[in-house]
Amino acid sequence: FTLNGTKMFTTNAHVADYILTVTRTDRQAARKHDGITVMLVDARAPGLTMRPLRQLGRTATHTNELRFTDVRVPRRNVMGEVGGGWTNLTKGLGVERMSVAMMYAGTAQAIVDYAVAYAKERKQFGQSISKFQAIQHKLVDMQVKADQSRLLGYRVAWMLQQGLPCFKEMSIAKLHASEALFDIANQGVQVMGGWGVLEDYDMELYFRDSRIGMIGAGASEIQKSIIAKQMGL
């Protein structure tokens, strides 16, 4: 096979030995989901170049733009069947959604714990700001959303364990967890006030990282379209 084209937002490609690449090998396929093949491409292959991309958050995991110019890939590097990549991809994407949903749920709880600890320590008007009802209500709302994310993820894990179809539930978990994470981080910044936007504290890092969650692993709009289709709409 000879690959030509561009792939954006490839995580950690610069440190990879091989890159899992989704390609279109049949442009005349009857259905748009046919003719897709997954291949392992040697990261050092001639004609493959990478450009690092600077992003808002998640700077610990770099992302890259890949350019393929007449990159040769042997047939033995095909994962699965030629033209049958879409089926395998959809299975993997569902599990990915559940995985990131649980990761977001854990991060959400970390943010809540961080904000609670700060509120108990920060003193204003002779008492901890955690004693003020306005702060308490923000923290409670954050905790409720974190719990919801975790429970939605647990539901998917249980359904998978029982062998039940849960394509819709996977997207629901990812959609809620990613949007809840950003809301929680946003409120966490508010609880901390000016300190929340300083690089001296972790909250601004949580805030920047959380925004990417509503785009990566399938944007919120994609998840809503999947859920609507599963609802028969």
CA distance 128 to 139: 14
Q: Taking the model in full, what pTM does it have?
A: 0.89
- Matching residue, tokens 């409670």: 140
Q: Looking at the 3D structure of the chain, how many domains does it have?
A: 2
On whether both 49 and 97 belong to a single domain, the answer is no
Indicate the residue among 64, 79, 94 that finishes a domain. 79
- Matching residue, tokens 């954050």: 142
* pLDDT given at position 33: 80
* pLDDT given at position 104: 98
CATH number of the domain at 190, please: 1.20.140.10
Residue-range definition of the domain harbouring residue 72: 2-79
On whether both 45 and 150 belong to a single domain, the answer is no
On whether both 65 and 153 belong to a single domain, the answer is no
On whether both 55 and 91 belong to a single domain, the answer is no
Enumerate the H helices of 16-79 as residue ranges.
none
Indicate the residue among 38, 63, 79 that finishes a domain. 79
- Structure letter (DSSP) for residue 215: T
On whether both 69 and 147 belong to a single domain, the answer is no
Residue 229's alpha-carbon distances to 167, 171, 232, in angstroms, are: 11, 11, 5
CATH number of the domain at 12, please: 2.40.110.10
Indicate the residue among 79, 96, 120 that finishes a domain. 79
On whether both 46 and 100 belong to a single domain, the answer is no
Would you write out the chain's pLDDT as a tens digit for each of its 233 residues?
999 999 999 999 999 999 999 999 988 887 878 899 999 999 999 999 999 999 999 888 889 999 999 999 999 999 988 988 888 888 788 889 999 999 999 999 999 999 999 999 999 999 999 999 999 999 999 999 999 999 999 999 999 999 999 999 999 999 999 999 999 999 999 999 999 999 999 999 999 999 999 999 999 999 999 999 999 99
Region at 22 (left for phi over 0; alpha for psi -120 to 50; beta for the rest) = beta
Cα of 226 vs its chain's centroid, Å: 16
On whether both 72 and 101 belong to a single domain, the answer is no
* pLDDT given at position 92: 82
